[in-house]
Amino acid sequence: MRALPVFLVTVLTAALATPASAAVRDDTRYVDPLIGSAGGGNTYPGAVRPFGMISWSPTSTRGDQTNTGAANGYAYDATRVRGFSLTHVNGAGCHPGAAGDIPIMPHVGDITSSPTADIKDQIFASDFSHADEKAEAGRYRVGLASGATADLSVTTRAGIGEFTFPVSGSLLFRTSNSLNGSEDADITIDPASGTVSGSVLTGAFCGRRANGGTNNQKTYYRLHFTASFDRPISAYGTWVDDSLRPGTTSASGGEGYLTGSARAGRGSGGYVSFADSAVRMRVGISYTSLEAARRNLAAEIPRRATVSDVAREARKEWAKRLRAVEVDGGTTDERTIFYTALYHSFLQPNVITDVGAPARYGNFSGWDQYRAHTQLLALLAPDVAGAFAQSLLEISRQNGDVWDRWVHITGPTHVMTGDPSAPAIAGMYAMGARDFDVRAAYDSLLRQATVPHPDGLSDKGCPGQCEGQRPNLAEHLRLGYAPHDTCHCWGGAAETLEDAVADQALADLGRRLGRPNADLEQRAGWWRNTFNPATGYQQARRADGSWVTPFNPASDQGFAQGSSATYTWMVPHDAAGLASAMGGSDTAVTRLDGFFKRADGSWATGGDPLRYDPTNEPGIHTPWLYNEFGQPRKTQETVRAMARLVYRTGPSGLPGNDDLGTMSAWYVFAALGLYPRTPSSAELHLSSPMFPKARIAGRNITIIATGAPGVYLRETRWNGREVGRPWLPESFVRRGGVLVSRLEG
């Protein structure tokens, strides 16, 4: 056996001798929840636990009670707040958004009119300064210009808030004022027991397009809440629309949906006032019942607990979860970017079951998440990923065995395109998430991919929320592509490419289960049927076989949230075939060079439909395609450049919508020098690690980079053996070990 190089002996010895630090390490100090709260990131800064049901965060306003100015309720540049809502979805871009349920507002002054009548948020909202705001993992604090303050922390299903007032004040419960509006809401005040309880019936994520212009009632959910206080209630009342009703204890009524005059001034809520200058409130929530909300509160937050008590435990839980990846070295800013990305990756999926019930999760932004997030989840938290996969299977059963591509809570919204459940499930299984009924999931997904469903002929919600899991499957199977004119989908070329990835995923999963499927393998190559050799790009086709013209690679005709220039690269499972179709690897590399760099040699970072767009998902795998085309140094250079240019500290630190942790997961992979080779396998592309050392304890993986922050890989060894290709086999994830890279340049 050949002797190992001296440098390798040294780093292997150091790696293997490093003691476990799981009992003491706390990287929450590097988490900045305000990253991504500006510039379209649509993150939220409020208090939340990993995968929490409750996320208590401010709802901002720009002077319109039906429009917060951001898809997720908080815009960094909107420094006026109208409440602190109990639920959020991280980074969803559909405006006016999702969740933001039960905004609770500390108010200073008399209540002489209905808060719902304050349609411009002139009376019952307050300015604030970011100098008086502090967001950290598990806690959020802010001082308002009104003189009130809010200090919030949470458990998984309950929250605790300490509110102060100059002398005395009130808490407003805007029960009907979810971000997207509401179908109905109710509130009950019990002054004798000192409690407020109620619920909101809401949903209709992404607005009214679903179901042909009416709200998609399949997305509706009811959130129940109960709140109690440590001070006696001195006054109380409710309101309905513009009618204030002092001294009443119950009210009901929804707002409707969307924004503007049809919704403004509508809705219901209630208020409780206190003679004291401070009040502590505990609140529990549930998607099941009011009684379940009470049980959740009783189980998770003791009566005598303080915000500091709960925040201390929240920080411990976050520290434990962040220890999934321990990085050493790097600057403070680099660690802040990394650990905030890891934090964002662990915000979802979200617990939807009550205390004592098996853990089940909701919120699945499939079209986004299958490209990075679900694989990272399975790598770092396989128990959560397995329960998430089981949850998606059970949700599909509730929906007539149809798997939806964007699930809000448990409701199918139909948002986006393709069949992302297949690569998400296959990828999580490949990465080691095994605690779910994988055979039932495979059977169900296979059935939907091979047996046409009536929903596939519906145009309800099109283009952005088409009903069918596999739109017009019969025609797709007959033609070998999704015909743009009869596909009942967002875009025929995009649907063809997405389904090719999904078919490869099902083939991969079937092979792992001992059920190889040659038909699926063949169908995975149908991307060729929308690749036009005459133009060298993916292009939509009609049912008669003709190409949709006029054609422009900068156009999104036939595609979904991306141009032909971007989607042409969306063949991660057959990169060699794509290069061949383009004329060979040298041609593919030349085209990639032009895709990533402008004519003046500068890096493309968005805004040009002919070039790489790091702000949206269809092309985020493309930096690693150089590995497939025999130019790994260009992968290393491109990944490092994109990570440096579009991921930063500060509110604008994300390149685009975080999309339930997808963009953050991209960065975590990039910083580790790894990325899934295909969405449905555990092979991992190699690029250059950004930190001298990283440890994934749960997988017994240690990544050492000598010469960091060098950009180029001079040599990579796994457990002492040189890695001969620019990607790692699946056995790396299963077996773990020490990966040592020598960097230069």
- Span 588-606, pLDDT tens digits: 999 999 999 999 999 999 9
Per-residue confidence band for 261, with pLDDT thresholds at 50, 70 and 90: confident
Burial 316-344 (b: 16+ CB within 10 A, else e): ebbbebbbbbbbeebeeebbbbbbbbbbb
Residue 653 C-alpha from the chain's centroid = 16
Pair 365, 659: CB distance under 8 Å: yes
pLDDT computed for residue 248 by the predictor:
98
pLDDT for residue 5 is more than 90: no
pLDDT at 629 over 80: yes
- The fold adopted by the segment(s) 44-319 is Beta-galactosidase; Chain A, domain 5 (2.70.98)
Instruction: Give me the pLDDT at residue 168, please.
Output: 96
Helix 307-322 vs helix 332-345: crossing angle, to nearest 10: 100
The pLDDT of residue 11:
52
DSSP bridge pairs for 163: 150, 279
Q: How many CB atoms lie within 10 A of CB 610?
A: 16
Taking all residues of the chain, what is their mean pLDDT, rounded to a whole number? 94
355 vs 13, higher pLDDT: 355
Predicted confidence band of residue 6 (pLDDT cuts 50, 70, 90): very low
Q: Is the pLDDT of residue 1 over 60?
A: no
pLDDT surpassing 50 at residue 212: no
CB 71 within 8 A of CB 342: no
Question: Pairing mode, if any, of strands 243-246 and 235-240?
Answer: antiparallel
Write out pLDDT tens, residues 639-666.
999 999 999 999 999 999 999 999 999 9
Q: Which token pair is 231?
A: 């001070």
Please state whether beta strands 235-240 and 326-328 pair in parallel, antiparallel, or not at all (unpaired): unpaired
- The rounded percent of the chain whose pLDDT value lies above 90 is 89
CA 659, CA 132: separation in Å to the nearest integer?
28
- Of 91-105, 278-292, 351-365, 493-507, the least confident: 91-105
Cβ atoms within 10 Å, residue 190: 15
pLDDT tens digits for 558-588? 999 999 999 999 999 999 999 999 999 999 9
Q: With pLDDT > 70 as the criterion, what percentage of the chain qualifies?
A: 95
pLDDT of residue 658: 97
Give the type of residue at 81: V
Give 544-558 pLDDT, tens digit per residue. 999 999 999 999 999
pLDDT score of 74 more than 50: yes
DSSP E strands, 329-449: 350-351, 361-362, 364-365, 406-408, 411-412
> In sequence order, what are the residues at sequence separation of 6 or more whose Cβ sits closer than 8 angstroms to the Cβ of residue 288?
224, 353, 354
Mean pLDDT value across residues 340-357: 98
pLDDT given for residue 68 in this prediction: 83
Residue 22 — very low, low, confident or very high, per pLDDT cuts 50/70/90?
Answer: very low
Predicted pLDDT at 569: 98
The pLDDT value recorded for residue 744 is 95
Determine which of 108-112, 244-248, 263-267, 443-447 has the lowest per-residue pLDDT on average.
Answer: 263-267
The segment(s) of the chain belonging to CATH 1.20.1610.10 are 360-687
Residue 15 has a pLDDT of 54
Residue 356 pLDDT exceeds 50: yes
Mean pLDDT of all residues in 40-69: 94
Task: Summarize the confidence of residues 47-69 as an average pLDDT.
Answer: 94
pLDDT(34) > 60: yes
What pLDDT does residue 70 have?
A: 83
Tell me which of 63-67, 266-270, 448-452 is least confident.
Answer: 63-67
Residue range(s) of every CATH 2.70.98.10 domain in the chain: 44-319
Span 664-675, average pLDDT: 98
Instruction: Determine the 3-state secondary structure of 383 from DSSP.
Output: helix
431 burial (CB, 10 Å; 0-12 / 13-18 / 19+) is: buried
Q: Which helix (H) or strand (E) holds 507?
A: helix 492-512
pLDDT of residue 73: 92
Q: Quick one: average pLDDT of 328-352?
A: 98
Among the listed ranges 179-193, 215-229, 298-312, which one has the minimum average pLDDT value?
215-229
The pLDDT of residue 208 is 53
Q: Please name the residues in contact with 99: beta carbons below 8 A apart, sequence gap of 6 or more.
A: 73, 85, 87, 88, 89, 178, 179, 408
Is the Cβ–Cβ distance between 476 and 450 less than 8 Å?
no
Does residue 209 have a pLDDT over 70?
no
Greater pLDDT, 67 or 396: 396
Predicted local distance difference test score (pLDDT) of residue 95: 76
CATH, domain range 360-687:
1.20.1610.10
DSSP string, 661-706: THHHHHHHHHHHTEEESSTTS--EEE---SSSEEEEGGGTEEEEEE
Q: Return d(Cα 655, Cα 662) in angstroms, integer.
A: 11
